[in-house]
Structure 1
């Protein structure tokens, strides 16, 4: 069921794909039909919605404003369809979750396993990104829910729930610091380090503290992959910094050790986000609640370890 004008759907496809031809392929229509709808829409609005550039189409300022309206309209249509289906006794729908890469080991699988068992009719799609990209996915309407670390406050994003987690040092059980109950940041820099690259939330949190230390850092590797950082630390190739979240499997297998940092280092806030003005369809609301339960479980572990 499509209750809105073709022009809105065609505009949204062009916005996401950056090309009339690509939009036409996705919509299974002729490119001339897509172009005609766009021209009619621009004539009605009285402003060009895209800049025609050699590399593709980019939204103008008017296009950016109109895009926010279109995203809201299409998401509200999805909610209406699901609520109508619910009246007919049918549970169906789609949930798109954008999640920080480091949560794909156990946090996200735990929540989605429950969702899939309880609501098998709901289609789920996931995206793994850095935390900043997670927020952009939600704002652009490409994801319904975002789970990310340390996102700065934005009026366009609504945080459904957030918990705070300390940074610790992670290392192989054979590491010289592995038998200590806790460690100081100054102790850690005496060993090879595996550090997060700029742009990763962990790097942003630690950079002021590492920069204030007098000695140069003996880092072996900078990476934007949290999973690679964890795996190399578990193999004894260096020491890394991480929250307790996402380490369950490696800790339980005895492949990795997590040690609290005694320093006054910052904490990472892990939050669940949706677009601020959006009314959530039932399937998305349920999935967000299950992600919230998993977040509270990890927060409870943090309290026990205090």
Structure 2
């Protein structure tokens, strides 16, 4: 089988659409469709269910996708080792991360890294903590960045970062001039918050419950950057990890106020890998640089 066939199949599996795979790979949809049909003929089975909402892998297709991913991974490792022989640091580094660290920490680190190693490409996705762990366990990524450290026996922790929470609001908010806030100070005001799939929200809800406090959460969303937009548009308050608002603090775009000590316990942000995964030189280098980079480094 040709490597291109693997790429076409995996692109359709990832996007759920021949058309989208065609756009991603810059290959005609008819060529991809023919290769999928050839694969199904070779294996004498249906690999995709053709549904109204897209192409979904059958159980047989999931088995094939897993083995193809491993094969493509081995090809990437081989290419990386060949590049190493020629003194090149190259290849593709894959990662999964929670959203909060991206703007102030991960993206600047990648930009600095690619200045040193311009042949290295990065491919990542942003998701919740559970999806980061799942991507690591399924061997889909080289490293992950997530919050809290539930026990996963296959996951190795490279570095932990203590992560306090901050209150963020417009400069016109009545609490904007405070040095620190207690949770009871939030009660008279409306909050805009991340939804309960985020550790930040669960930590806030638990702390409020323990203190017997109720706050008004008028707007929920699963997107940190849009949460901040909403806060500025409405005059609400939000609670976010410190690195998620470091850019706004540095550039004075929002009022960022400390939460009083022990009001909400500090979280733990984790840089992690799957135990036993063979990493390319490029992946090892960026992980080492992230491990040593301050996570609240301002932009």
Instruction: Answer whether TM exceeds 0.5 for this pair.
Output: yes
In the alignment, does 2:255 pair up with 1:256? yes
Alpha carbons 1:172, 1:236 under 8 Å: kept: no
Report the TM-score, using the length of structure 1 for normalisation: 0.77
Counterpart secondary structure, 2:109: helix
Question: Match of 2:112?
Answer: 114
Distance 1:236 1:18 in 2: 37
**How do 1:93-242 and structure 2 match up within 5 A?**
93-138=91-136, 143-150=141-148, 152-212=150-210, 214=212, 216-233=214-231, 237-242=235-240
2:268 equivalent in structure 1: 269
Q: Report if aligned partners of 1:178, 1:259 keep a CA contact under 8 Å in 2.
A: no
- Bigger shift: 107-116 or 259-268? 259-268
SS at match of 2:38: helix
2:54 corresponds to 1:52: no
CA distance in 2, matches of 1:202, 1:150: 10
List structure 1 runs of 4+ shifted beyond 6 angstroms. Answer: 3-7
CA contact (8 A) 1:193 1:220 kept: yes
Give aligned pairs, total.
292
> Residue by residue, what CA displacement relative to the aligned partner does 1:16-47 show, whole Å, maximum 9, x if unpaired?
2445676678466353343222342x35xxxx
Of residues 286, 295, 299, the one that matches 1:298 is 295
CA shift at 1:8, angstroms? 4.9
Closer/same/farther in 2, CA of residues 7 and 156 from structure 1, 3 Å limit: farther
Aligned CA RMSD, in angstroms, stands at 3.5
5+ unaligned residues in a row in structure 1: which ranges?
A: 302-306
- Offset, 1:122: 1.5
Q: 1:7 to 1:210 in 2, by over 3 A?
A: same
**CA 1:32/1:109 → structure 2, altered by over 3 Å: closer, same or farther?**
closer
In structure 2, what is the Cα distance between the partners aligned to 1:133 and 1:73?
23
Change (3 A) 1:128 1:238: same
Distance (whole Å) between structure 1 residues aligned to residue 154 and residue 20 of structure 2: 28
CA distance in 2, matches of 1:269, 1:136: 18
Give the secondary structure class of the aligned counterpart of 2:264. coil
Question: Alignment partner for residue 32 of structure 1, among 31, 34, 54?
Answer: 34
Separation in 1 of the partners of 2:77 and 2:95? Answer: 16
Q: Gaps (5+ residues) in structure 2?
A: none
Q: CA separation in 1, counterparts of 2:184 and 2:192?
A: 15
Cα offset, 1:271, TM superposition: 1.8
Residues 148 and 267 of structure 2 are in contact (CA less than 8 Å); yes or no, is this contact kept in structure 1? yes
Does the 8 A contact of 1:18 with 1:58 survive in 2?
yes
CA change 1:24–1:223 in 2 (3 A) is closer
Q: CA deviation at 1:142?
A: 5.5
Contact 1:7 1:38 in 2 (8 A): no
